[in-house]
Chains A and B, each alone.
Chain A
Amino acid sequence: MAVDKNYRSIVTRPDDFHAFWSDVLSDANSISLDPTIEKDDLRSTGDIDVFQVFYNSLDNVRVSGWYAVPKGAGRKLPAMIASPGYLSDPPIPKDWAAKGYACISVNPRGKVRSRTQFDPGYPGLLTYGIVDRNTYSYRGFYVDAWRAVDFLLGRDEVDDSRIGAVGGSQGGGLTITISAMRKEIRAASVSAPYLCGFMDAIELTHTYPYQEINDYIRTYPERRDDVERTLAYFDSMSFAGSIECPIIVNVGLQDNVCPPETGYALFGVIASKDKTFYEYDGHGHESGRYLHGAVIDEFFDKHLKGAS
């Protein structure tokens, strides 16, 4: 099927969207971050120190992350928040450290190392508590990712004015929300965004993970309106209007997981004046990674390292 590049999402941002998230953040802010950081000798190398990180988040859930830092920098470093995919286990971000960034790879609740207090499983995370925005799984999941910013702000080696965010698929959706909610983010790269046009995607494709929502609605058809109402508060489309930092977005035109139509629609509503879209024909959910990797590196070099 031909991709409709002018696709308009059916998602509408709720009128009380900002009030809802303001209340959530108010709850979160009442909880001390209380970060701990422990060197992981097994994962560290001659050039890179790797740490296991833990901090508190919404509902007093203790979440974890991997933190990788180049050794012996001797100066403030630009920093990066790398957000994970839906199914993949959060990686140790040695690759970003090797490029000169202090990078935290965040493990939101339910991910490996962050599962003891909350674990809806897979499939399951996408529909857990979905009939109520106050119980939906991503309410806490998002805050877990946003609080990675607070972790970085507390690090002596990090230059607070040079923090970026990067991710693909779910990591792309999380990067949208982080960039919208935390003005400390100075540049963002989003690949094959997930959590983006939920109610569009379940019609555009019939593959997992979005299929979890179709499974849920098929089982409980009377709850469809509640589902749609909840998801509007969590949709990247609703967050995109609050993004002000430079941002790049890339999609594969044959993406079988996150429909590229939703990527176009998302890009259209991103508020930032400095935004660029990259489409890769002949590519699926990897969204042209081997071609686009250099684009991402150059983008962050420019915005976080001052390269011209």
Chain B
Amino acid sequence: MPMQQPAGFEEFWNEVGEELSGIPVAPEVEPIPMRTTDFADMYGVRITSVGPYRLFGYLSIPRGARSASGKRTFPAIYYAPKNGSVLETIPQGTSVFIRERYVTFSIACRGMRNSDKPYAAMYPGQLTDGLESLRSYVYRGIAADAVRGLDFLVSRPEVDKTKIVAWGNDIALLAAALHSGATHVVATPSYLFDTLEMASTTSSYPLEEFNDYLRLHPDRSDEVAAILGHFNLRWHAPAITAETLLLADHESGIYSPGALADLANGIAGKVTVHESERSSFKDGLFTEKWLTEKLIGKDAEPIVPEHWQSYV
């Protein structure tokens, strides 16, 4: 039986958007000297999302933005919230020198560290919090948080609005679907594409969270499916106009290129699918090269960690 977009899908997301637009971003931006270098300034940022709920993020701005004209802008990397407790300034293993080339902004959605008051999520646990109803499901707020982060980033004068990449897992794609500010996306789908169908094929987390939930609440499977349908990237794909790099699992994995074919075909923007080479080095280098080409130019060299530099 072909899958169908849930009834009320558009209304649900329109309501979230309207609720968010009625809430001031209300940014507080404070310097963080410990993470500031001679090539980039680091700030802690607090902004408001639906609830209202106060979020925290790390904003890094290249020192070059302090140029004499004061008008220099930079491409931006938006590290979308993820399914894990820790908020990083930039991802582990990334050369710190990217902060010289890009504005970076990472944000903790509700439940993550630094955005965990009053709601401190458990991991595992976050993926099924509030799954009693569509209105109470925590991902309604998390999606709004991801959009709110983009609201803040595009408001910054240091950012080149034609070059903003949303980077992360499923939430990066969700953010790009719900906010036109992302011009590019780098995403590793892990749980929001055909969630229950994919969960049925594995006992690995994060998808196992849904198996755990339905094992304990088998009578709720239809309701859960209906709720998760609103977050299924399958239905959000047509709204993603950004040029997108989908980082797929190896063909033996859950979200293999084959499993993601409908998602890739559904995204409105140009899509590149990279099948994992089961090497964080090879996959990471491919991603850095793709990003550099799209945001800086074909002739530019990617900024990579020391142990990758021989391979650029």
Contacts and interface: CB of A to CB of B under 8 A. Distances in A.
B122 A87 contact: no
A254 B37 CA distance: 26
B92 interface: yes
B93 A256 contact: yes
B88 A87 contact: yes
A215 interface: yes
A208 interface: yes
A217 to B, nearest CB: 11
Interface string B179-213: 00000000000000000000000011100100011
Contact of A216 (B34, B90, B93, B305): B34
Interface of A: 1-3, 41-43, 45, 86-89, 91-92, 94-95, 98, 112-113, 121-123, 204-209, 211, 215-216, 218-219, 252-257, 259-260, 282-286, 288-290
Contact of A285 (B87, B93, B213, B215): B93
Contacts of B169: none
B94 A284 contact: no
16 contacts: A1-B306, A43-B212, A89-B123, A91-B205, A122-B86, A123-B89, A206-B95, A207-B92, A209-B92, A254-B308, A255-B307, A256-B304, A257-B93, A282-B281, A284-B279, A289-B278
A158 B114 CA distance: 39
A177 to B, nearest CB: 21
Contacts of A256: 93-95, 280-281, 284, 304-308
Interface size class of B (residues with CB under 8 A): 35 or more
A112 B122 contact: yes
A208 B84 contact: no
Chain B CB count within 10 A is highest, among A86, A209, A211, for: A211
Q: Is chain B's interface secondary structure helix, strand, loop, or mixed overall?
A: loop
Interface string B76-112: 0000000011111111111111000000000000000
B279 A260 contact: no
B101 to A, nearest CB: 14
A196 B169 CA distance: 30
B33 interface: yes
Contacts of B92: 86-87, 207-209, 257, 285
Contacts of A215: 34-35
A1 B311 CA distance: 9
A284 B95 CA distance: 14
A1 B122 CA distance: 40
